[in-house]
Amino acid sequence: MLAGMYDGSEHTPKLLPCSHTVCLHCLTRIAASQTRDTGSFRCPICRELINIPRGGVSALPPSFLVNQLLDLMSRQRREVIPKCSVHLNQELLFCETCDTVFCTLCTGGSHSTTATSGEHTIIPFSIAIKRMSEILLYKANECISKLSQAQDTVSQELRRLDLATEHCLDQVNRTFQEVSASVERRRQEMVSAVGQARDEKRKVLEEQLTLIEGEKTKVERECEGLQYQVEVRNITQRIACLGEKLDAASTLGEPRENAFLTCDFTHNKSQSELEASLSRLGRVRTSTTFPSLCTATLLDSAVAQLETTAVLHTVDYHGDLRTTGGDPVSVEVIPMLGTSSQLQALSTNIEDCDDGTYNITFLPTSPGKYVMKVSVLERPIKDCPLFFDVTEHNNPVAVYGCRGSGKDEFLQPVAIAIDDEEGTVYVVDTGNSRIKELTSDLQFVKHIENEGLAGRSCTGIAVSSNGLVVVNWRTKTITELSHEGETISQFSHNAFQEPIDVAVDKSYGHILVADNGLSCVFVFDADGKILFQVGRRGSHRGCFNLISSVTVGPGKGRYGGVVVDGNNRIIATRSEKNRNYVQVLGLDDGSLVSTIDSHESKLKRPSGMAVTSDRHVIVVDLGNNCIKKYRYW
């Protein structure tokens, strides 16, 4: 752009949509060089793309601010126009592009009025001063507004501090009044005990004193008129009687009770413990938590009818993670418009982990959008409120395996068992005649092989106190083996027809074998001795149709694998036409709690399953030759 002055004709100032001001002459030249039938050009200052209006660049709005400054300059040119200190008659100019002050005589090059190369926005220095002053004033007002808000916030916190101090002092006074009342009660009890002990002793001594006075009176009566007695026999009788009373007086001379009475406070450590307890009674707690730096995140994706957990991490005003708890935390989780549930806040539970983190749990009742508002010290945390989606689809949190015979591959997996103490997962890889041992997070550990797994016909597995128990339907044998694959014991039963699954009663060590051929369950002791049989074929109470699955209603599908957790929930696989899923049912009434539809990872012929101690169920997906882990409550 040519360097020059704004005026009211050829160099009239035009305001671009990007808020920059360029004269009409320069805009015409720039538009002519950049348009190329595109109907737009770029701002010479910020390079933003500017669309040319229908009337051309001349139809762009005028820069009212620059025009007002030009009017002001024309009225006060002599008084306010700064002059060059070298060329006293030359007006100072200002280049917005280069942030440079100059006059037309002392600066050449790209700022020369005859230069045609380069693009610069040049305005009179007086206008630049005016514009900068307005910007400075605007920024100052913004800064003052922010500082006023900060002042109000800090003042409010000071008032809250005063209220908290009064509340703490009330707590201190109330607590120590209660302690004083307890001490006073104990003092009264001790005073009462002293009085009671005194009264008991006094009663005995006073009774003895009364007895002594009575005997004394009798003796005095015996001695009355004794000097007038002349008859020897009477005198002798009285002497004998007084002798007896003298012996009785000797026994009455010893007090039947003593005067010992004292209070002992050294018989135990109560007094020192009381002093120690009083020194430990109460504490003054403060917090360095800075709410605007604290963050909350969901541990897992939120699923309807599944308990969801968010973790709040607290941070101090230095930006360091807090390592202690005790902060007042409040949480509100509300479904938003469009959610099928009513717009009422969900019930939440806040667990203080006492390490600077807080677990926030809640149960979303239906899918949709939700908002969570978290406050610490009655102030919102960073990025609050937090918006999140609740889905109706319960997809696996982990998937392991594929078809094959390699380390991480399965061939017809059918059964699974979990060691509750160790968290180890054991999967029967039937087609490869082996057991795959995995960690709780489905990481491969090793393969276990044994003759009881031969023939690709092992269909059941359970964890015993000594190792593992497996059932082979083809050989009709039950084998107990160690975790290294060594055989511990093995037995069969002549009544077996099609034994397909096995379980171990950990309380008694009994081994339960499901026989699909006889539609019953055999119960053996730990040595393989038959104890009794449960059920028989039929549809009556106490009877089975098929052990491996139960048909429920015509054409309504069937249940396959089933397991019961420690919270009275039944988890069962269900198969319908072109649909396989897992249901979570209540053990007491059979009500449907939730459904695992595995929407993004469809189940295909689900078979065995087992639950973990951390609210997950692992399902063997026979059709996909893998296992899938789900969170189910």
pLDDT over threshold 80, residue 379: yes
Strand 308-313 relative to strand 122-124, pairing: unpaired
Q: What percent of the chain has pLDDT over 90?
A: 43
Tokens 């005194």, residue? 198
Tokens 């002992």, residue? 264
What is the identity of the amino acid at 61?
P
Asked whether the beta carbons of 294 and 376 are under 8 A apart, the reply is yes
Alpha carbon distance 245, 232 (integer Å):
20
Would you tell me how many other CB atoms lie within 10 Å of the CB of residue 122?
26
pLDDT over threshold 50, residue 553: no
pLDDT over threshold 80, residue 3: no
Quick one: pLDDT at residue 278? 86
pLDDT over threshold 80, residue 218: no
CATH fold for domain 398-631: Neuraminidase (2.120.10)
pLDDT over threshold 60, residue 547: no
In this structure, of 233-247, 278-292, 358-372, the range with the lowest mean pLDDT score is 233-247
Look up the pTM and report it.
0.62
Quick one: pLDDT at residue 549? 37
SS3 category, 33: helix
Q: What percent of the chain has pLDDT over 70?
A: 88
Mean pLDDT across the stretch 413-423?
Answer: 91
The 3-state DSSP composition of the chain as helix, strand, coil percent (nearest 5) reads 30, 30, 40
Q: What is the chain's alpha carbon radius of gyration, rounded to the nearest angstrom? A: 49
Confidence of residue 619 (pLDDT cuts 50, 70, 90): very high
Quick one: pLDDT at residue 165? 92
Confidence of residue 36 (pLDDT cuts 50, 70, 90): low
Alpha carbon distance 23, 123 (integer Å):
10
In this structure, of 256-270, 335-349, 378-392, the range with the lowest mean pLDDT score is 335-349
Q: Which CATH architecture has domain 291-391?
A: Sandwich (2.60)
Q: Greater confidence, 616 or 241?
A: 616
pLDDT over threshold 60, residue 1: no
pLDDT over threshold 90, residue 568: no
Q: Greater confidence, 593 or 65?
A: 593
Q: Angle, nearest 10°, between helix axes 232-252 and 125-223?
A: 170
Mean pLDDT across the stretch 468-474?
Answer: 94
Quick one: pLDDT at residue 76? 54
Domain ranges of the chain: 13-120, 160-280, 291-391, 398-631
Asked whether the beta carbons of 22 and 14 are under 8 A apart, the reply is yes
Q: Greater confidence, 623 or 547?
A: 623
Q: How far is CA 58 from CA 16, 20, 227, 497, in A?
A: 11, 15, 161, 98
Starting at the edge strand that comes first in sequence, how are the strands of the sheet with 511-515 ordered? 499-504, 511-515, 520-524, 530-534
Q: What stretches of 55-179 adopt beta strand conformation (E)?
A: 93-95, 100-102, 122-124
Quick one: pLDDT at residue 587? 83
pLDDT digits (tens, 9 = 90+) for 124-166: 877 777 777 777 878 888 888 888 888 998 899 899 899 999 9
Q: What stretches of 77-126 adopt beta strand conformation (E)?
A: 93-95, 100-102, 122-124
Q: Mean pLDDT over all residues of the chain?
A: 84
360 burial type by CB count under 10 A (0-12 exposed, 13-18 middle, 19+ buried) = buried
Mean pLDDT across the stretch 473-499?
Answer: 94
pLDDT digits (tens, 9 = 90+) for 496-524: 999 999 999 888 889 999 998 888 999 99
